[in-house]
Chain A
Amino acid sequence: MTALENKKIEAPVKFSPEAQQKFEKILTQYDSKRSSLLPVLHLAQDEFGYCSDAVVEYVSQIMELSPAQVMEVVSFYTMYHRKPTGQNHFAFCMTLSCWMGGTHQLYKNFCARFGIKPGEVTPDGKFSVGKMECLGSCGTAPMLSVNETYYESMTPEKLNRLIESCRKGEPEVP
């Protein structure tokens, strides 16, 4: 961290003191600074909501990488969002067992109901949707993930209940 202290970080965003502490702890866990890029991006996304251009610029400075090197990683992995997501991001698993269990229909109905596609957010900011590949829950297909929490063995009724609870601001516990 000493080398960075001398270098001025100029970016529109900055870590809070808690996040800064977590960042410094992450750096100690690896034998190369660049190895901590994925955890740092997770931290930045948790802190700032999504990986905007400003966040990419900030991370590239604190990680001493070029913005292109950080953007390559952000664009490669599905969990880093380049655009803001809704308060409740519904990600439907679309592969094999879940697809056989009917997630395509659940997904289509969800999109039709809210009039959104992947990458879009509802006007009230509450919902966004995404398509995911196999999430490792095939035995409890069909399933989806809301804000990285798995909701398994879904039915249209369960999905409706989940949507309502999210709308009220208290997503139900799976």
Chain B
Amino acid sequence: MAKVKINGKDFEVPTGQNLVDAAENLGIDIPHYCYHPGLSIAGQCRMCYVEQPGNSKLQIACNMKCSDGLEVITDSPKVKDAVKWSLEFHLINHPIDCPICDQAGECGLQDYYMEVGKYSSEMREHKQIKQKAVDLGEKIVLDKERCILCGRCVRFTQEVSKTSELGIYNRGDRSVIGTVNDEVMKDNYQVNTVDICPVGALTSKDFRFEQRVWFLKEVSSVCNGCSAGCNVDTHHKSGKHIYRLKPRYNPEVNEYWMCDDGRPTYKTANYDHRLTAAKLGGVELPTNEAVTTWMNDLRTLIATERTDEIAAWIHPDLTSEEITSIVKTLRDEFGISQFYSEDADKSARDDKTVDQLLKRADLWCNTQGFLKVTSALKLKLGSLNQLEERLAQAKINHLVIFGSEKNVGVQSLKRIRAALPADCFTVLISPRLQNAELFSHSLAIPSISHYEKNGTIMNWKKIEQKLGSDFRMFKSAWSVEEILTSLSQEYQRPQKEVSRA
């Protein structure tokens, strides 16, 4: 550890840590744009000035590493004035189109203006004109005028995604960021540049003009796109609609980034993809009544000791708690013995990196957790082929399907549907509307989507990560644990209280 002095106070910080990071951890904000802990040091924005006693020239904090005896001042009038002027320089050619800019509310220029600016600009000259709303492909829009040329996006494509698609062209105040001839960006990590862009120069097409950020709340979660388990923050408005995912820093899993394929995974949580009410044969009913209906059929089979005619289908996107709940309720409480699932062993075996970065071949997000829990609970699992066979032999009269909200599970569900005899009582528990439509004759109970879950999943490296949501989007969509608890309560209710056949 190194002993440093900041603004007259003594602190102990890790030796060699970047001064901007060290100060941030201590709650001291040193303004900066071009510095990013996941990228190389640029020293271009000239905002992170600090004063060193004995040195009349101001130094930049991002090029300083903490060592014993380092002494800096971040809040002297000289520093504040220098930062104010640096901000003025950033703004003299900035178009200031906050009213139409997505970044408003989380913009580096706005934030620092309120902190250290609040001056009347003296710029009376005509501003530099550059291209606006440049289409860089399916995911990103570039506004070259808003760009403050911090270079973060360029360094990202050079150092992290290693495609070097972006560059800074020309010299002086004619400099512009972009691709060669504004051609589309091709790599699968582009949208990270939107995250790291401090201003509204790079914006995500998916989020463009959708929502003002001051209405959004964040909860932490983990992406369910593949087995990488990149940490994310879910941005939602009042728990009713999710607008975007942003990566969250985790040094062991994904550092500061996530791939673009994981970004749209929140869409399956929103209204147009969701089963919002329980249905029986296409007719809506309240969820608790659906549970009762389910229990009625189940009870008959349990009472007549025909539990071997009951089967359940599960998948590796379920959290470890969900799987535990399923086993404890269906197997231990009700005596169901037939469990079938996707081939998690094969998924784990075939899993590998797809791009030498984050994305992996296994598109299930909790394969390792699934294997761990099923093995610990000694759950015997059959394959899809075996389930199809038994369905064809009409040996199953009651099938419980836990359906994933992702496309990756659809193939298996279609096969099950095809093999399903007409008189088999089917219960589908899934958040996904399309799944319910596939099993339109069955009982469909809406469950919550991945980004509303509280639970644990395990990534390919066997790191356990928590999903920590705090909102529910639809009253009628319950968690798997809640559905099974309700089922269990229904089972234990004395028979004479049962009012519905």
Enumerate chain A interface residues (CB-CB to B < 8 A): 53, 56, 65-69, 71-72, 75-76
Contact = CB atoms under 8 A, between A and B. Distances in A.
B165 A68 contact: yes
Nearest to A65: B164
B167 interface: yes
Interface in B166-185: 166-171, 179-181
A66 B181 contact: no
15 contacts: A53-B180, A56-B180, A66-B163, A66-B165, A67-B180, A68-B164, A68-B166, A68-B179, A69-B164, A71-B167, A72-B167, A72-B168, A75-B169, A76-B169, A76-B171
Contact of B169 (A53, A65, A66, A71): A71
Contacts of A67: 180
B147 to A, nearest CB: 15
A53 B181 CA distance: 9
B416 to A, nearest CB: 47
Interface in B148-206: 157, 163-171, 179-181
Interface residues of B, number: 13
Contacts of A68: 157, 164-167, 179-180
Contacts of A69: 164, 167
A contact patch SS: helix
Nearest to B171: A76
A67 B167 CA distance: 9
A75 B165 contact: no
A66 B161 CA distance: 13
Given A56-B180, A65-B164, A76-B171, 5 more contacts: A66-B164, A68-B164, A68-B165, A72-B168, A76-B170
Nearest to B162: A66
A72 B169 contact: yes
A66 B186 CA distance: 13
A56 B166 CA distance: 15
Given A65-B164, A66-B164, A66-B165, A71 B170 contact: no
A56 B171 CA distance: 18
Contact of A71 (B157, B163, B171, B180): B180
Contacts of B166: 68
Contacts of B181: 53
Contacts of A72: 167-169
B272 to A, nearest CB: 38
Contacts of A53: 180-181
Contacts of B164: 65-66, 68-69
Counting chain B CB atoms within 10 Å of each CB, the highest count among A53, A65, A67, A68 belongs to A68
B170 A75 contact: yes
Nearest to A75: B169
A72 B149 CA distance: 14
A76 B171 CA distance: 6
A72 to B, nearest CB: 4
Contacts of B179: 68
Nearest to A74: B169
Nearest to A70: B180
Nearest to B179: A68
A72 B180 CA distance: 9
Interface string B379-420: 000000000000000000000000000000000000000000
B177 to A, nearest CB: 10
Nearest to A53: B181
Contacts of A65: 164
